[in-house]
């Protein structure tokens, strides 16, 4: 089982990279799955520039960068979205990275590690509606990293409570992914 931890901020100096690295480090000892970090920023995606709607493109994308992103996402069974809250919602960069594909997400699992001044809770709630359109299976629980209290001196210092939350969410994601298989829908 392969899980991608997707860092959904492309902002220079983003805290998301610290959150993604923490999730990966926390998951290192698990033998049920491998966890890898994907930074959306590394893929240099344009704002949706494909003439064909992704759900109808059958993975035949025009832009080589979309194809590279498609190949990467396709290779995973499930995902952890490291989701910043921007203006009470999801980050535009991550929403665009989601929108440019479709079958690569469909029928797979996802868990959320939100972060922001209120733990990214509103962003994650919005993500739940978005991923439902791709028939994804989301874990019930989520992790809420507070950028005001969990980054003393600018460095992520997760509390025991936060670490326990992450353990629970990863347990749930691994169980869900193994029960569903990969992917649940042949699209
Ligand atoms: C454009 C923008 C809008 C933001 N809006 C919110 C918000 O509505 N609620 C919140 O809790 N934090 C908000 N923040 C704070 C971010 O959640 C926080 O800066 C976080 O570190 C952003 O993720 P990043 O550092 O990985 O880019 C906003 C930040 C940016 C850049």
| Range of the structural domain that residue 59 is part of | 2-180
Identify whether the C-beta of residue 108 lies closer than 8 Å to the C-beta of residue 79.
Answer: yes
Range 145-166 average pLDDT: 98
pLDDT > 70 fraction of the chain, expressed in percent and rounded: 97
For residues 82 and 19, give the distance between their C-alpha atoms in angstroms, rounded to a whole number: 7
pLDDT beyond 80 at 169: yes
Pocket of ligand 1 (CB under 6 A): 9, 11, 14-16, 84-88, 116-118, 147
pLDDT > 90 fraction of the chain, expressed in percent and rounded: 95
In a domain, 159, yes or no: yes
Mutation test of ligand 1: which of 116, 118, 120, 126 has the most ligand atoms closer than 8 Å to its C-beta? 116
In a domain, 25, yes or no: yes
For residues 167 and 70, give the distance between their C-alpha atoms in angstroms, rounded to a whole number: 28
Give the CA count within 13 Å in the CB-facing half-sphere of 61.
23
In a domain, 103, yes or no: yes
Q: CATH no. for residue 21?
A: 3.40.50.360
Residue 182: which pLDDT band, with cuts at 50, 70 and 90?
Answer: low
Say how many domains are in the chain.
1
In a domain, 185, yes or no: no
Ligand 1 centroid to Cα of residue 97, in Å, is: 18
Please write the tens of the pLDDT for every residue from 114-141.
Answer: 999 999 999 999 999 999 999 999 999 9
Backbone angles phi, psi at 144, to 5 degrees: -120, 105
Ligand 1 centroid to Cα of residue 98, in Å, is: 19
**Count of Cβ atoms closer than 10 Å to residue 66 Cβ:** 22
Closest CA to 140 of 103, 182, 169: 169
In a domain, 186, yes or no: no
In a domain, 149, yes or no: yes
In a domain, 110, yes or no: yes
Percent composition of the chain: helix, strand, coil (DSSP 3-state, to 5): 40, 20, 40
For residues 47 and 156, give the distance between their C-alpha atoms in angstroms, rounded to a whole number: 30
In a domain, 187, yes or no: no
């Amino acid at each position: 089982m392969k899980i991608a931890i997707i860092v959904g901020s492309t902002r220079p100096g983003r805290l998301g990279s610290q959150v993604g690295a923490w999730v990966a480090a926390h998951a290192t000892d698990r033998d049920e799955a491998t966890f890898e970090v994907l930074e959306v920023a590394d893929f240099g995606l344009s704002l949706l520039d494909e003439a064909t709607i992704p759900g109808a493109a059958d993975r035949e994308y025009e832009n080589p960068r979309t194809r590279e992103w498609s190949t990467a996402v396709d290779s995973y069974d499930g995902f952890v979205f490291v989701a910043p809250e921007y203006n009470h919602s999801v980050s535009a960069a991550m929403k665009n990275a989601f929108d440019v594909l479709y079958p690569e997400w469909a029928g797979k699992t996802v868990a959320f590690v939100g972060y922001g001044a209120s733990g990214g809770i509103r962003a994650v709630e919005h993500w739940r509606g978005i991923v439902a359109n791709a028939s994804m299976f989301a874990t019930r629980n989520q992790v809420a990293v507070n950028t005001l209290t969990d980054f003393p001196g600018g460095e992520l210092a997760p509390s025991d409570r936060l670490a326990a939350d992450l353990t629970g969410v990863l347990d749930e994601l691994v169980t869900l992914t193994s029960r569903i298989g990969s992917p649940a829908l042949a699209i």
